[in-house]
Copies of this chain bind each other. A is one copy, B any other.
Amino acid sequence: MNIKTANQKQQKQALIANTALKMFAETNFYDISINSIAAASGVAKGTVFNYFKTKENIFMHLLLVGYQDFFTQTISQFNENKITDLNGLKDFLLSNTEDLIDNHLTLIKLNVLRGPILEGKASMEETIQGRKYLYQIHERLATDIHNSFAEISVAMANKIFIVQSSIVSGLINLSDLDSFNQQPINNDLSDFTVSIKDDALTTFDCYLTGLFLKLKES
């Protein structure tokens, strides 16, 4: 049969997108060619363009769907956990951050591309639609938190996750200061060695501590 069901279509699209995601984990956007994505996916170059109008659309899609999934999962986990105090919330947010770093680091890296690179050539209509859906999920997560913690406004809850991503994203950019092109610089540079996970958790912890302190004081 030549007419694929919607499901089959989605599967091939997902195959291509996930291949691109894996490649992006190890390679720079500009060093990933449509050719290599097609080859690694086991499809023809033209097929890639059947599923994504442009190269940028692939990565915009990954960014949107990835974050949608991540926050959907975060909502579930938050609601399962029946957290009652701010300390519990902080623990939850830190463990959520650990999950983000362990399992969705490329998602964070995609953020760097979004504004300066992807938006220039990604489909505006699709992107905005995807982004609105993402914001709905994000807003729902924030609302759930607000419903459990009246002192945390929805806006503040949203901002907490923006800061979460920012810290991880920023530390990625500042990592590898003690090496050049993967080759370690011989000097002792322990003061400039960034461990993304340790440093992100510590930084986010301090941030939340300070934030909740101010909350109580006001």
Contacts from A to B (Cβ < 8 Å)? 28, 30, 111-112, 114-117, 119-120, 124, 127-128, 131-132, 135, 138-139, 142, 154-155, 158-159, 162-163, 165-171, 173-177, 180-181, 183, 185, 187, 189-192, 194, 199, 203, 205-211, 213-214
Contacts and interface: CB of A to CB of B under 8 A. Distances in A.
A190 B154 CA distance: 11
Q: Is the interface of A mostly helix, strand, loop or mixed?
A: helix
A111 B166 contact: no
A207 B177 CA distance: 22
A206 B211 contact: yes
Contact of A180 (B124, B169, B173, B194): B124
Contact of A168 (B132, B135, B155, B170): B170
Given A173-B169, A174-B169, A181-B120, A191 B158 contact: yes
Contacts of A127: 180
A111 B37 CA distance: 27
